[in-house]
Amino acid sequence: MDDISQKTVACLIDELITADIRCWMAQDRLMDESLTDKERLASAITAQVSNKRRSDLMRAIDKRLGEGQFAGMNKTY
């Protein structure tokens, strides 16, 4: 992961969309009972990592837009 503070708002939004999709897809795989426990665990880890990235990106966007004081996101899960 590269330095969020050096990116434009447009780039942050683009990465946010990608992180949202990754998180959604991993959560969908996590609920797929046809997968092995190992595959589901990998999906759970991917979902958590993607959700953390998503939270970081949302905070960065809020901060850039001057709305950081309103983002009540203390947890990333």
Segment 22-47 shows an average pLDDT of 96
> Is position 28 within any domain?
yes
- What pLDDT, in 10s, does the model give residues 14-27? 999 999 999 999 99
Q: How many domains does the chain have?
A: 1
Phi, psi dihedral angles at 58 (to 5 degrees):
-65, -40
> Is position 76 within any domain?
no
> Is position 77 within any domain?
no
- Calculate what percentage of the chain has a pLDDT beyond 90: 70
pTM for the model stands at 0.76
Domain span at residue 49 reads 7-67
> Is position 35 within any domain?
yes
> Is position 13 within any domain?
yes
Rg (C-alpha) for the chain, rounded Å, is 14
> Is position 73 within any domain?
no
> Is position 43 within any domain?
yes
Which region among 9-13, 33-37, 70-74 has the lowest average model confidence (pLDDT)?
A: 70-74
> Is position 18 within any domain?
yes
